[in-house]
Homo-oligomer: A and B are copies of this chain.
Amino acid sequence: MSAPHLDVEQVEAANTAFYEAMERGDFETVSSLWLVPADLGVDEEYHDPADTGVISCVHPGWPVLTGRGEVLRSYALIMANTDYIQFFLTDVHVSVTGDTAVVTCTENILSGGPAPEGDEELGPLVGQLVVATNVFRRTGQGWKLWSHHASPVLTESEGDDGDAGDDGDGAPA
């Protein structure tokens, strides 16, 4: 086991590399940053079919995607529909224990789709406030993503703070 400080640096670097690959639309690198079942020691014969999803991913507002097939197809789809995307990461927290790390961060996203008519250089830019929880696992090839869960931060109207649980839109658990 390596030193905790070094682990935190390496995990943060892997997290940054993931978002930079998204910015470049670099599908190969994004794909390589996700675990393959062998990294988790998954024995396909032993596990129930329901438990072999292994990796999981939730994009903002999406249902859960499980397994490399579903997860990687979603990135291919997103990249095909995104001409420009930039992530300004803030509030990055890393918690490492043994061979697993949990990273939380705020993704301040600026993105644009293809031009609507094909005659403009870029579609309209959209800003989004998203928070993410990324779980990494240590492998022989560095830290790899086991789970990514991102969700929109729904801002409340001003003067409505301190009472988030009673209006049905900031639901519990």
The chain A residues found within 8 Å of chain B, CB to CB, are 4-5, 8, 18-19, 22, 40-41, 43, 46-48, 50-51, 53-56, 58-64, 66, 75, 77-82, 85, 87, 91, 93-95, 97-100, 102, 104-107, 109, 111, 113-114, 126, 128, 130-133, 135, 137, 146-154, 163-173
Contact = CB atoms under 8 A, between A and B. Distances in A.
Nearest to A152: B61
Given A54-B95, A60-B171, A78-B164, 7 more contacts: A50-B93, A61-B153, A62-B131, A64-B133, A100-B100, A133-B133, A150-B151
Nearest to A95: B54
A46 B96 CA distance: 13
A151 B152 contact: yes
14 contacts: A56-B95, A56-B102, A58-B131, A59-B170, A63-B106, A64-B105, A66-B104, A78-B164, A81-B166, A85-B173, A95-B146, A107-B173, A109-B171, A133-B133
